Amino acid sequence: MGSDSGIPNPFLQIVEHPDGTITRPFVPQSPPNPNPPVLSKDLPLNPSHGTYLRLYLPVAAASPDRKLPVLLFFHGGGFVLFSPSDATYHASCEAMAASLPALVISASYRLAPETRLPGAYDDAAEAILWVQSQAANPASADPWLSAHGDFSKFFVMGSSSGGNIAYHAGLQAKSMDLCPIHLSGVIINQPYFGGIERTESEAAGEEDPVVPMRSNDMLWRLTLPIGSDRDHEFANLVKAGLDEAVGMVRCMVLGLKGDPLFDRQKLFAEALEKKGVEVVKKLDDTGFHAMELFVPPKAEALFNEVREFVYGA
């Protein structure tokens, strides 16, 4: 996703048109995998929105006498690119399902600029309610979930823009009747936040190979409600105050020094703590944005952190 990863930066390949539409770059796709060690399949979420879910079941861990945590995952892409079927995210979710192990549900959401925020947040809430409906109606539930899902260990996770979405999903869950599922935690990996005034890490990352600031500014311009700037509450959460976070379930916030967005991630974790939220902070390592998608040791390090959070809950 940049020179550090050996992959051309897809954000720099987005073409904006005068009428407000965009042309997205080609991204390799992966179909669901019907073969072990990790089975996957797609299920519709909201056909009228074109949203769907990709489920991952690690076969070796899915024994009849063992239930697996259920992890609802939201991919990154600056709210503008990617889906659960993109090859990189498919491979990452497959590896995560096997490593934790967990029953992973990778949720698609409507992308900007065709659907600006809060559309993706609404889709995330719909995905949570879908999981709740599966637990509440076992006779009609998907057999993977009814046979192997431990709904008392339900987690929401997201990376990059998906981390932003995961946080908002955790907020929305506070006012939902989720019985019989129990939201045990929210995992917010390298969340994508913004603001008008550059932080030190953003200023140092103007030409970052993964999230150069010109791409960053464009993504927010395409994503936020028309007429909004980067200090909108969907982007600059810390400036908005995070008052709505009071009473939120425990969170884990992960970030890497070297990511231009690191300063905002650190400030976000600190602001959550000030609101009384239990926060597990993992902000001491170094690297680049979305590093776990391209560097296997970083992926395993992330999965180890997630495993500890999920199984220690």
**Mean pLDDT of successive 10-residue stretches along the chain, which has 313 residues:** 59 94 96 96 98 97 90 98 98 98 98 98 98 96 96 97 98 94 97 97 95 96 97 97 96 97 98 97 96 96 98 83
CATH 3.30.565.10 fits 10-311, yes or no: no
Tokens standing for 58? 């690690």
Q: Lay out the sheet containing 183-189: strands in order across.
A: 38-46, 51-58, 103-107, 68-74, 149-159, 183-189, 251-254, 279-282
Angle CA(120)–CA(121)–CA(122) in degrees, nearest 5?
90
Give the catalytic positions in this structure. 160, 259, 289
Q: Cβ neighbours of residue 137 under 8 Å, at least 6 residues apart?
A: none
Whole-number Å distance between alpha carbons of 205 and 197: 14
The whole model's pTM is what? 0.96
Q: Given this model, what pLDDT does residue 313 score? A: 64
Output phi, psi for 246, to 5 deg: -55, 125
List 72's β-bridge partners, or say none: 105, 156
pLDDT of the residue at 6: 54
What count of other Cβ atoms lies within 10 Å of the Cβ of residue 283? 14
For residue 296, what pLDDT is reported?
96
Domain range summary for the chain, segments of one domain joined by +: 10-311
Residue partners of 306: CB distance under 8 A and separation at least 6: 71, 96, 100, 157, 187, 252
Pair of tokens at residue 39: 């089975």
Q: Do the beta carbons of residue 10 and residue 83 sit within 8 Å?
A: no
